[in-house]
């Protein structure tokens, strides 16, 4: 029998659980110094790209300058309209991601399945041209978190068939898709819940984390009734999807949940009714929209925006794309430049994008992510990796960012064969002066020129205290380029977006 | 997931380059920070959070409840003392330790380890996240407190301490209980240094310090950066790699790093670098199915806890009278086991208090019993607010009487669990 998510909070990051919640600390942090001097504060297009991508590439900056924010957003909200054939080509190195259910289960918990899941997610985030779509995939991966060593093939399938399929679709489809997916059924112990002893784990998190939210107006009695309604929702290898309704495990008595009667004698309809109730509950619209605003706008988003987004959510029956469109075109969004701290994974993916890094060695890749304490699909508790700055501001975390930045930009100097290559030289062009060199690196890292104060500091580093007119000789480039890149990625300017 | 454990350290990254101390600017306090004497600041506090909701009824077993306990736990009960090899270890004729707690029995009988039962946070939430937050904030029911109970203790203490090690959270991040202080998060003493290209590293570090304005930090990120540089400098002096525990202490080498965390706390205490509070987690207690109380998962995780505490006790030796260790968990688990040979979220639980000031060797419990009519929604009721225990530690051991600020709107009841210094 697969073990459940018993490794709850076993990672070194466990204190993050508590750090993730609450608002007091986050709000103190959000008012970080000098947000108004960030380039994005005066550049709405850059601000927009900072939030919907994993770090803007020069070609994306060029595109949005041509067509503007709204047209760019509409392209991104229709990912099929964005050609991503180069990405498809790259993904051929991960055939596991495309295997059918039976085949991936033959591989089982083989480490290759893990690496395909983790690397596939990051490669897509780094290289896909459908950046907003990948950001939403990450959002729902957190929202419907699953983690565990024993059902990783199911996690590959849930990622592909539920999260990726519906990332910009209907919220309800995500709820029903995860509710009936073996990965979730195992992870939250639903697979073992029967009428004699209903297991409340999934039912509770369905209400608390997936739909209504902990303050969404349900009671302990609602949790218990919801658990009864879901008895019999389990896994069987013989079905096409792995989901199986086992009538012998189901409690056919009547139930009363969130003010709704469920008459006796119903089977799988109880659970479907429950999901319909919670997916359409007004608290759910607010809860999900608030989370979207925290992800895309600020750690303490304006209530006005949460409310207006929730209204779009309700009016569209939980269509994700229009809600996102509403949030990203709002005045509240435009006023939020510099208020979000890049999460470690965003930092990592952004650094890969800026440096053109590729890593062949799976273990080396994993080791970098472990240092940053945000390995995809390795968050044990069901609430997903935290989203607010306060959770990620620790000293160990900050040092790990600096060291990751230096590692990614010093592959050429590393003695170990990590199978890592970068594009630092290739992307530099032919700068004649130190100043041009600094500007060329800044364009790769930030997408736009640097503010004067920061630029002067990077010039001072690259010129050893000299001036920007000094020649960018091959020797200077050889000595300074990697560290200059690393410093920009390690700088506070890069941590905020 | 494939374990890499030790792969990373040493392989992988750049060769680490040491940082010259002479490079640090004059503002940096180095080892000359103001540090209060132990006479004024009291014990070092080691606060251990058992995340996930540990099944206290399987740790401090109320075998004296008889059928009310054993009928509710057909597969997940610990047998009463004297009934075989897997039986509880008697504590007082009513309660017994799980056999995995054998390494702690001598400390208990010696009086340095006390047990509190039917305790916890009185808020009825069975949500991990809310319950942890309430407990760590020290304000059950209020989510807007914003600071943790330990953070407020450090804010209101009457002495000063500039050491970056004043409050340390072992792990990638600091727990909510430390909010309000400026805690250091520390995963590995040995690995806490900046990497970079040899020859450029000092200049790189100088640039980083300027970019983060560490000489005059103005936001939380900048403060953390200053803390990082200060800590790098101090840890270099600790000679971390060669540290050897004393007195035959053997810390568990668990995957989560609990043993390593306790070992590093012992090292920091011995190094006298100004540590006042250390927070450490041991998770994995959310045992909804196949709990493995006797010979499975729960049993082995409990062994990690017991071996860690016993190694720490041995390693600290003569320093232990100046250290107070306290454990807590967000809630206990339901009295009746579920259909998956596991237990669901419950309410009341146990706490341990270990250290020189503990009036140990007994179980402090205003025991409500497990009789059906005595339960709180099916769960063990709480008759001792966990803040009663912490309040005593704060006033008697940590020399901080400002309970009205640390636990606002709460009047603690004296329990006599620790003595005054």
B143 CB neighbours in chain A (<8 A) are: 21-23
A458 and chain B in contact, CB less than 8 A: yes
pLDDT digits (tens, 9 = 90+) for A290-322: 999 999 999 999 999 999 999 999 999 999 999
Sign of CA dihedral B269, B272, B276, B277: negative
Q: Is residue B331 part of a domain?
A: yes
Mark yes or no for CB contact B51/A491 under 8 Å.
Answer: no
Q: Is residue B63 part of a domain?
A: yes
C-alpha distance across the termini of chain B, in Å:
48
Contacts of A314 (CB under 8 A, 6+ apart): A282, A285
Sign of CA dihedral B208, B210, B214, B217: negative
Q: Does the pLDDT of residue A2 top 50, yes or no?
A: no
Give the best residue of A1, A3, A5, A6 to mutate against chain B (max B CB count within 10 A). Answer: A6
Between B193 and B276, whose confidence is greater? B276
Q: What is the pLDDT of residue B18?
A: 38
What's the mean pLDDT in B187-202?
86
b/e B311-320 (16+ beta carbons within 10 angstroms → b) = bbbbbbeeeb
Residue B58 has which token pair? 């399987």
What's the mean pLDDT in A19-25?
39
Residue A78 has which token pair? 């229709």
Mark yes or no for CB contact B129/A18 under 8 Å.
Answer: yes
Nearest to B129 among A383, A458, A487 (CB): A383
Q: What is the ipTM of this complex?
A: 0.88
Residue B34 has which token pair? 């103001």
Q: What is the pLDDT of residue B163?
A: 86
B204 CB neighbours in chain A (<8 A) are: 406, 461, 483, 486-487
3-class DSSP assignment, residue B165: coil
* Gap between the Cα atoms of A194 and B354, Å rounded: 41
What's the mean pLDDT in A188-209?
93
Mark yes or no for CB contact B51/A9 under 8 Å.
Answer: yes
Closest-approach residue (CA) in chain B for A369: B8
Mark yes or no for CB contact B200/A483 under 8 Å.
Answer: yes
A7 CB neighbours in chain B (<8 A) are: 283-284
A422 and chain B in contact, CB less than 8 A: no
- Shortest CA distance to B353 belongs to which of B331, B378, B384, B375? B384
For B407, which DSSP code?
A: S
Contact B389, B351 (CB under 8 A): yes
* Gap between the Cα atoms of A27 and A31, Å rounded: 7
Q: What is the pLDDT of residue A5?
A: 35
Cα A296 to Cα A117, A374, B355: the distances in Å are: 24, 19, 47
Q: Is residue B393 part of a domain?
A: yes
CATH code, domain with B88: 3.40.720
Mark yes or no for CB contact A6/B14 under 8 Å.
Answer: no
pLDDT digits (tens, 9 = 90+) for B9-28: 333 333 333 333 333 333 33
* Gap between the Cα atoms of B378 and B343, Å rounded: 12
Provide the CB-side half-sphere exposure for A370 (13 A, CA).
Answer: 21
Q: Is residue B292 part of a domain?
A: yes
B130 CB neighbours in chain A (<8 A) are: 21, 214
Contacts of A42 (CB under 8 A, 6+ apart): none
A193 CB neighbours in chain B (<8 A) are: 339-340
Contacts of A473 (CB under 8 A, 6+ apart): none
Q: What is the pLDDT of residue A12?
A: 30
Contacts of A436 (CB under 8 A, 6+ apart): A472
Q: What is the pLDDT of residue B75?
A: 95
pLDDT-wise least confident of A2-16, A280-294, A343-357: A2-16
What is the full DSSP assignment across A124-168? HHHH-S-HHHHHHHHHHHHHT----SS-HHHHHHHIIIIIHHHTT
Q: What is the pLDDT of residue B85?
A: 85
Cα B267 to Cα B41, B172, B187, B246, B248: the distances in Å are: 19, 18, 13, 10, 15
Q: What is the pLDDT of residue B217?
A: 83
Q: What is the pLDDT of residue B172?
A: 74
Establish, for the pair of chains A and B, how many residue pairs have beta carbons separated by less than 8 Å: 301
Name residues 80-119 of chain A within 8 A of B (Cβ): 111, 114-115
Q: Is residue B216 part of a domain?
A: no
Nearest to B172 among A24, A396, A491 (CB): A396
Mark yes or no for CB contact B176/A18 under 8 Å.
Answer: yes
pLDDT digits (tens, 9 = 90+) for B331-359: 999 999 998 899 999 999 999 999 989 99
CB atoms within 10 A of CB B322: 18
Closest-approach residue (CA) in chain B for A205: B127
* Gap between the Cα atoms of A297 and A304, Å rounded: 12
* Gap between the Cα atoms of B214 and B227, Å rounded: 9
CB atoms within 10 A of CB B150: 31
Angle between helices A344-355 and A474-490 (to 10 degrees): 160
Q: What is the pLDDT of residue A431?
A: 96
Contact B245, B263 (CB under 8 A): yes
- Give me the residues paired with residue B89 across strands: B97
Name residues 27-86 of chain A within 8 A of B (Cβ): 28-29, 31-34
What's the mean pLDDT in B141-161?
89
Residue B157 has which token pair? 């203490």
- Give me the residues paired with residue A233 across strands: A245
Give the best residue of B135, B142, B194, B288 to mutate against chain A (max A CB count within 10 A). Answer: B288
| Percent of chain A whose predicted confidence (pLDDT) is above 90 | 77
Q: What are phi and psi of A235, to 5 degrees?
A: -115, 140
* Gap between the Cα atoms of A276 and A268, Å rounded: 13
Mark yes or no for CB contact B143/A363 under 8 Å.
Answer: no
A6 CB neighbours in chain B (<8 A) are: 284, 286-290, 297
Q: What is the pLDDT of residue B295?
A: 93
A484 CB neighbours in chain B (<8 A) are: none
Nearest to B187 among A10, A383, A396 (CB): A396
Closest-approach residue (CA) in chain A for B175: A15
Contacts of A77 (CB under 8 A, 6+ apart): A132, A168, A321, A324, A325
Between B408 and B26, whose confidence is greater? B408
Provide the CB-side half-sphere exposure for B230 (13 A, CA).
Answer: 26
Mark yes or no for CB contact B224/A31 under 8 Å.
Answer: no
pLDDT band at A417 (very low <50, low <70, confident <90, very high): low
Q: Where would I find the H helices in B218-289? A: 220-236, 258-271
When the pLDDT of each residue in chain B is averaged and rounded to a whole number, the result is: 88
| Percent of chain A whose predicted confidence (pLDDT) is above 70 | 91
Q: Is residue B32 part of a domain?
A: no
What's the mean pLDDT in A11-39?
46
Closest-approach residue (CA) in chain B for A231: B339
User: Where is B151: in which H helix or E strand?
Assistant: helix B149-156
Mark yes or no for CB contact B12/A363 under 8 Å.
Answer: yes
Mark yes or no for CB contact A24/B286 under 8 Å.
Answer: no
What's the mean pLDDT in B289-317?
96
Q: What is the pLDDT of residue B35?
A: 62
Name residues 145-164 of chain A within 8 A of B (Cβ): 149, 152
Name residues 329-388 of chain A within 8 A of B (Cβ): 341, 363-364, 366-368, 370-371, 373, 375, 378, 380-381, 383
* Gap between the Cα atoms of B204 and B202, Å rounded: 5
Contacts of A134 (CB under 8 A, 6+ apart): A54, A124, A125, A128
Q: What are phi and psi of B325, to 5 degrees?
A: -105, 135
* Gap between the Cα atoms of A131 and A349, Å rounded: 12
Contact B284, B234 (CB under 8 A): no
Q: What are phi and psi of A191, to 5 degrees?
A: -60, -20
What's the mean pLDDT in B137-156?
91
Q: What is the pLDDT of residue A359?
A: 84
Name residues 7-26 of chain A within 8 A of B (Cβ): 7-25
* Gap between the Cα atoms of B269 and B83, Å rounded: 41
Contacts of B109 (CB under 8 A, 6+ apart): B361
Contact A387, A374 (CB under 8 A): no
pLDDT digits (tens, 9 = 90+) for A352-408: 999 998 888 888 888 888 889 899 998 888 999 999 998 888 888 899 999 999 999
Task: Measure CA B33 to chain center.
Answer: 26
B123 CB neighbours in chain A (<8 A) are: none
A220 and chain B in contact, CB less than 8 A: yes
Q: Does the pLDDT of residue A67 top 60, yes or no?
A: yes
Range of the domain at B282: 47-189+246-406
For B311, which DSSP code?
A: H
When the pLDDT of each residue in chain A is averaged and rounded to a whole number, the result is: 90
Cα B66 to Cα B17, B63, B80, B332: the distances in Å are: 62, 6, 9, 19
pLDDT digits (tens, 9 = 90+) for A459-483: 999 999 989 999 999 999 999 999 9
B290 CB neighbours in chain A (<8 A) are: 1, 3-4, 6
Q: Is residue B149 part of a domain?
A: yes
pLDDT band at A104 (very low <50, low <70, confident <90, very high): very high
Contact A12, B256 (CB under 8 A): yes
Give the best residue of B196, B260, B378 to mutate against chain A (max A CB count within 10 A). Answer: B196
Q: How far is A275 from chain B (nearest CA, A)?
A: 20
Give the best residue of B14, B126, B144, B260 to mutate against chain A (max A CB count within 10 A). Answer: B14
pLDDT band at B34 (very low <50, low <70, confident <90, very high): low
* Gap between the Cα atoms of A51 and A334, Å rounded: 11
Q: Is residue B218 part of a domain?
A: no
Residue B398 has which token pair? 């940590």
Provide the CB-side half-sphere exposure for B68 (13 A, CA).
Answer: 18
* Gap between the Cα atoms of B408 and B391, Å rounded: 12
Q: How far is B351 from chain A (nearest CA, A)?
A: 19
Q: Does the pLDDT of residue A202 top 60, yes or no?
A: yes
pLDDT band at B278 (very low <50, low <70, confident <90, very high): very high
CB atoms within 10 A of CB A415: 7
Cα B100 to Cα A16, A141, B304: the distances in Å are: 28, 37, 9
Q: What is the pLDDT of residue A361?
A: 82
Q: What is the pLDDT of residue B26?
A: 33
What's the mean pLDDT in A69-81?
97
Q: Does the pLDDT of residue A23 top 50, yes or no?
A: no
pLDDT digits (tens, 9 = 90+) for A260-272: 999 999 999 999 9
B208 CB neighbours in chain A (<8 A) are: 402, 487, 490-491
Number of domains chain B contains: 1
For B179, which DSSP code?
A: B
Q: What is the pLDDT of residue A410?
A: 83
pLDDT-wise least confident of A10-19, A43-52, B336-345: A10-19
* Gap between the Cα atoms of A182 and A407, Å rounded: 38
Contacts of B343 (CB under 8 A, 6+ apart): B55, B76, B287, B288, B291, B333, B334, B337
3-class DSSP assignment, residue A234: strand
Nearest to A407 among B126, B195, B199 (CB): B195
């Amino acid at each position: 029998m697969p073990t459940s998510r018993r490794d709850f909070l076993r990672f070194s990051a466990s204190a993050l659980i508590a750090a993730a919640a609450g608002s007091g600390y986050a709000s103190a942090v959000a008012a970080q110094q000098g947000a108004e001097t960030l380039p994005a504060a005066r550049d709405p297009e850059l601000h927009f790209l900072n939030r919907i991508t994993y770090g803007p590439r020069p070609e994306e900056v060029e595109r949005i300058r041509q067509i503007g924010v709204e047209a760019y957003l509409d392209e991104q909200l229709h990912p099929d309209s964005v050609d991503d054939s180069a990405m498809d080509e790259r993904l051929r190195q991960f055939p596991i991601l495309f295997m059918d259910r039976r085949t991936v289960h033959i591989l089982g918990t083989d480490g290759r399945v893990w690496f395909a899941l983790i690397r596939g997610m990051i490669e897509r985030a780094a290289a896909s041209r459908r950046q907003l779509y990948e950001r939403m995939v990450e959002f729902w991966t957190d929202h419907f978190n699953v983690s565990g060593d024993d059902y990783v093939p199911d996690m590959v399938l849930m990622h592909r068939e539920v999260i990726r399929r519906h990332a910009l679709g209907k919220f309800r489809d995500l709820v029903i898709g995860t509710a009936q997916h073996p990965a979730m059924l195992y992870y939250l112990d639903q697979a073992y819940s029967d009428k004699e002893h209903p297991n409340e784990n999934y039912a509770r998190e369905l209400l608390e984390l997936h739909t209504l939210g902990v303050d969404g107006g349900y009671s302990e009695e609602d949790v218990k009734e919801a658990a009864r309604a879901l008895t019999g929702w389990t896994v069987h290898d013989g079905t096409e999807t792995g989901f199986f309704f086992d009538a012998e495990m189901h409690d056919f008595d009547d139930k009363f949940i969130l003010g709704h009667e469920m008459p006796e004698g119903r089977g799988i309809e109880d659970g479907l009714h429950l999901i319909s109730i919670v997916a359409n509950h007004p608290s759910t619209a607010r809860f999900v929209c608030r989370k979207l605003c925290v992800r895309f706008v600020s750690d303490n988003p304006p209530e006005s925006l949460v409310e207006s987004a929730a209204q779009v959510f309700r009016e569209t029956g939980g269509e994700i794309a229009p809600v996102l469109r509403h949030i990203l075109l709002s005045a509240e969004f435009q006023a939020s430049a510099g208020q979000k701290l890049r999460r470690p994974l965003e930092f990592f993916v952004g650094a890969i994008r800026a440096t053109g890094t590729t890593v062949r060695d799976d273990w080396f890749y994993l080791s970098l992510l472990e240092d940053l304490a945000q390995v995809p699909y390795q968050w044990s508790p069901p609430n997903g990796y935290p989203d607010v700055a306060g959770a990620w501001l620790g000293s160990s975390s900050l040092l790990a960012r600096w060291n990751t930045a230096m590692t990614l930009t010093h592959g050429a100097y590393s003695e170990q064969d990590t199978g890592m290559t970068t594009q630092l030289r290739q992307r530099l062009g032919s700068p004649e002066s130190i100043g041009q060199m600094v500007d060329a690196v800044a364009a790769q890292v930030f997408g736009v020129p640097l503010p004067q104060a920061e630029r002067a500091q990077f010039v001072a580093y690259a010129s050893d205290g000299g001036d920007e007119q000094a020649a960018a000789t091959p020797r200077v480039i050889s000595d300074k380029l990697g560290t200059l890149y690393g410093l920009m990625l390690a700088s506070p300017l890069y941590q905020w977006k | 997931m494939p374990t890499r454990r030790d792969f990373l350290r040493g392989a992988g990254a750049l060769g680490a380059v040491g940082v010259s101390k002479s490079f640090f600017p004059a503002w940096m306090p180095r080892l000359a920070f103001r540090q209060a004497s132990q006479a004024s600041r009291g014990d070092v506090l080691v606060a251990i959070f058992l995340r996930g909701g540990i099944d206290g009824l399987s740790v401090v077993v109320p075998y004296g409840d008889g059928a009310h306990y054993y009928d509710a736990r057909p597969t997940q009960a610990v047998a009463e003392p004297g009934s075989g090899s897997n039986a509880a270890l008697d504590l007082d004729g009513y309660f017994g330790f799980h056999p995995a707690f054998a390494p702690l029995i001598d400390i208990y009988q010696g009086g340095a380890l006390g047990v509190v039962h039917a305790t916890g946070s009185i808020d009825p939430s069975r949500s991990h996240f809310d319950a942890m937050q309430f407990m760590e904030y020290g304000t059950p029911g209020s989510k807007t407190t914003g600071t943790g109970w330990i953070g407020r203790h450090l804010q209101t203490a009457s002495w000063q301490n500039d050491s970056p090690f004043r409050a340390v959270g072992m792990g990638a991040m600091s727990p909510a209980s430390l909010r309000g202080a400026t805690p250091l998060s520390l995963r590995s003493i040995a690995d806490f240094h900046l990497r970079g290209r040899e020859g450029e590293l000092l200049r790189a570090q100088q640039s980083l310090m300027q970019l983060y304005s560490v000489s005059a930090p103005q936001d939380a990120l900048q403060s953390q950066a200053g803390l990082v540089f200060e800590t790098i400098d101090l840890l270099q002096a600790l000679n971390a790699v060669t540290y050897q525990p004393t007195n035959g202490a053997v810390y568990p080498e668990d995957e989560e790093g609990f043993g390593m965390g306790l070992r590093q706390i012992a090292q920091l205490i011995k190094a006298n670098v100004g540590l006042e509070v250390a927070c450490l987690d041991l998770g994995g207690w959310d045992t909804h199915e196949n709990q493995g109380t006797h010979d499975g998962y729960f049993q082995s995780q409990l062994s990690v806890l017991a071996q860690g505490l016993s190694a720490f006790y041995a390693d600290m030796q003569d320093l232990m009278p100046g250290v107070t260790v306290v454990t807590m968990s967000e809630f206990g688990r339901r009295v009746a086991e579920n259909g998956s040979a596991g237990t669901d979220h419950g309410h009341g639980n146990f706490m341990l208090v270990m250290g020189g000031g503990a009036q140990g060797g007994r179980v402090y419990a205003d025991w409500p019993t497990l009789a059906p009519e005595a339960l709180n929604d099916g769960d063990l009721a709480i008759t001792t607010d966990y803040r009663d225990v912490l309040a005593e530690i704060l006033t008697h051991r940590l020399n901080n009487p400002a309970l009205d600020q640390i636990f606002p709107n709460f009047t603690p009841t004296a329990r006599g669990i620790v003595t005054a210094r």
